[in-house]
A and B are shown apart, each in its own frame.
Chain A
Amino acid sequence: MKKYRNKTLSDTVSTVGSMLLFLLFTGCLLMMIAVAAGTYSRISNNFDKTFGSSAALRYLSNKLRSCGDAEISEHGIILRSDSIADVIYFDGGGLYEKTVMSDGDAEFTGGDRIFELGGMTVSDLGELYKITVTVNGGENSTFVRKG
């Protein structure tokens, strides 16, 4: 107690200064961690977006290139080759695929969820198909020749 009574003005200023410096340092650290987390989040989102749209476009392009006959409808596409048919359609934020026999149940229900997407459309432009996928509000399109 004696020591506190004998505390000088310089000691008080030093204490307050140290506190302020410590707070400033802590604030800067937290801000830098937040910026780092934000950068990681942005890069990660970019990766997800790229992977989602690019992989879906490539997958659909390759499927269209390797099928014998494609049937386009507003719900999705049916890709027929030999005795099997691949049914690919968009529903509820995802792209679904199922493989059935050509003469079997080729309806746009069931199947495995293969990509998380915001939307997918395939349009017939005569000699070309236009595939459009939407991921996180961004739209990407590509063209594929008819086989």
Chain B
Amino acid sequence: MSALKAFSGGKRRPINLFFTEMIIVLLFFSISGAVILKVFASAELKSLQSARLERVMITAQSIAEAYSESGDLTSAAKLVLGDDVVIGETTLLLSDTKTEFHGVGTSYTTLLLENGSISMRAQESGAVSDAGGLYHLTMTFDADGEEIYSLSCSAYIRNGGEER
């Protein structure tokens, strides 16, 4: 007790244990609160990323299915995302493939989704024979400069790909 009195500064003003306890509790609480807050933040981030991945996957699947049927990325994107979808510039690189199919080149297109927060890079390549055209589409979805999902699909359109 004498030690406590000494700590409180003398006989007239005894130590206030409530304030001492409060300080210790606040110190401990701030440390544990920081750790708990970090866990909450990472859970929230994971949840948001997961919801975004789910939306992207549903879009990718829908575009892949529509593309498999038509072999046309623009019409597939418009069917899935609506007519007001923002389709960026398409770059076409011509190339030849050494197969029985004749190469028709590779094109790169960028689409913007969810008000531009997600961009979809589409790489399309194809090869045609006398019977039909085999087209490959690789969709890569990026958000915040990071790749979040990628899906490749194909379409086979008969009769030289006249539907394109």
Which stretch, B15-23, B85-93, B102-110, B117-125, touches the partner chain A?
A: B15-23
Task: Tell me whether A43 and B43 are in contact (CB under 8 A).
Answer: yes
Task: Tell me whether B61 and A50 are in contact (CB under 8 A).
Answer: no
| Among B26, B44, B58, B66, contact of A57 (Cβ-Cβ < 8 Å) | B58
Is chain A's binding surface mostly helix, strand, loop or mixed?
helix
Is A140's beta carbon under 8 Å from chain B?
yes
Task: Tell me whether B58 and A54 are in contact (CB under 8 A).
Answer: yes
With an 8 Å Cβ cutoff, the count of chain B residues facing the other chain is: 25
Q: Which residue of B lies closest to A14 (CB)?
A: B16
Task: Tell me whether A142 and B61 are in contact (CB under 8 A).
Answer: yes
Task: Tell me whether A143 and B79 are in contact (CB under 8 A).
Answer: yes
| Among B16, B40, B61, B65, contact of A39 (Cβ-Cβ < 8 Å) | B40
Task: Tell me whether B58 and A142 are in contact (CB under 8 A).
Answer: yes
Is A114's beta carbon under 8 Å from chain B?
no
Is A128's beta carbon under 8 Å from chain B?
yes
Chain A: number of interface residues, binned into ranges: 20 to 34
Q: Report the separation of the CA atoms of residues A28 and B21 in the bound assembly, to the nearest whole angstrom.
A: 17
Task: Tell me whether B40 and A145 are in contact (CB under 8 A).
Answer: no
CB distance from A9 to the nearest CB of B (A): 14
Task: Tell me whether A145 and B65 are in contact (CB under 8 A).
Answer: yes
CB distance from B148 to the nearest CB of A (A): 15
Is A81's beta carbon under 8 Å from chain B?
no
Q: Report the separation of the CA atoms of residues A25 and B130 in the bound assembly, to the nearest whole angstrom.
A: 80
Q: Which of B53-99 contact A (CB under 8 A)?
A: 54, 57-58, 61-62, 65-66, 68-69, 79-80
Task: Tell me whether B61 and A61 are in contact (CB under 8 A).
Answer: yes
Most buried by B among A46, A141, A143, A145: A143
Known: A14-B16, A43-B44. A32 touches B69 (CB 8 A): no
Report A-chain residues with C-beta under 8 Å of the C-beta of B26. 25
CB distance from B90 to the nearest CB of A (A): 23
Is A71's beta carbon under 8 Å from chain B?
no
Task: Write the residues of chain B forming the contact surface with A, with a CB cutoff of 8 angstroms.
Answer: 16, 18-19, 22, 25-26, 33, 36, 40, 43-44, 47, 50-51, 54, 57-58, 61-62, 65-66, 68-69, 79-80
